[in-house]
Amino acid sequence: MKSGECAAARETVKKMIPHMFIPMIQGALRYAYKVDKLQGGEVENAEGAIFAAAVLPKVFAVSPSAAEIIYDNLKVSSNPSTDIVAVKNAFESVYAGLGLTCEDIGGLWFDGQEDYYEGMAPCGGAAVSAQSGDDNSGNQLKLITSFCVTMLAMFSL
């Protein structure tokens, strides 16, 4: 850094790194839901596997059993069989170990109903509908921020 504050920059990066995994977890959960509940096929199965593969090493470091559950449910298969409840529970069990919260990850929003898909509200709380003032912009902002942080980290190394 030009200002010579490298130690402060390293601390900031350490705080930002866990947030880089938010879009990967959100993507894995989204496609696990599509395969399990919306009859998703090979494309949805492959997309879920890609998102999961990006975060599985970090999950494994926190809980090998949670990583195994996620892997078994999201691996590429000619006959995908996914249990979204098991996947969601496995991810939720490692949030603290990853330095994340339920609020960081959010839920899977069903735009047409202005609410979360059944069973996909953020953990630790009840579903919040658009009528109560949640317009989902917080999750969008987190996603954009995570993307920007990831790009910044990649290009500054």
Q: What is the per-residue pLDDT for 126?
A: 44
Predicted confidence (pLDDT) per residue in 14-36, tens digit: 788 888 999 999 999 999 999 99
User: Domain for residue 52, yes or no?
Assistant: yes
User: Domain for residue 2, yes or no?
Assistant: no
User: Domain for residue 109, yes or no?
Assistant: yes
Q: What is the per-residue pLDDT for 156?
A: 52
User: Domain for residue 1, yes or no?
Assistant: no
Instruction: Encode 38-62: b = buried (16+ Cβ within 10 Å), e = exposed.
Output: eebeeebbbbbbebbbbbbebbbee
Cα 51 from Cα 26, distance rounded (Å): 8
Q: What is the per-residue pLDDT for 53?
A: 96
User: Domain for residue 4, yes or no?
Assistant: no
Which residues, other chains included, contact 139 with Cβ-Cβ below 8 Å and sequence gap of 6+? 26, 106, 107, 109
Predicted confidence (pLDDT) per residue in 127-150, tens digit: 433 333 344 444 444 555 555 555
User: Domain for residue 143, yes or no?
Assistant: yes
Q: What is the per-residue pLDDT for 129?
A: 35
User: Domain for residue 37, yes or no?
Assistant: yes
Instruction: Identify the segments of the chain with pLDDT beneath 50.
Output: 1, 126-141
Q: What is the per-residue pLDDT for 6?
A: 86
Q: What is the per-residue pLDDT for 81?
A: 85
Structural domain tally of the chain? 1
User: Domain for residue 35, yes or no?
Assistant: yes
Cα 98 from Cα 13, distance rounded (Å): 15
- Domain of residue 45 covers 10-156
Q: What is the per-residue pLDDT for 154?
A: 53
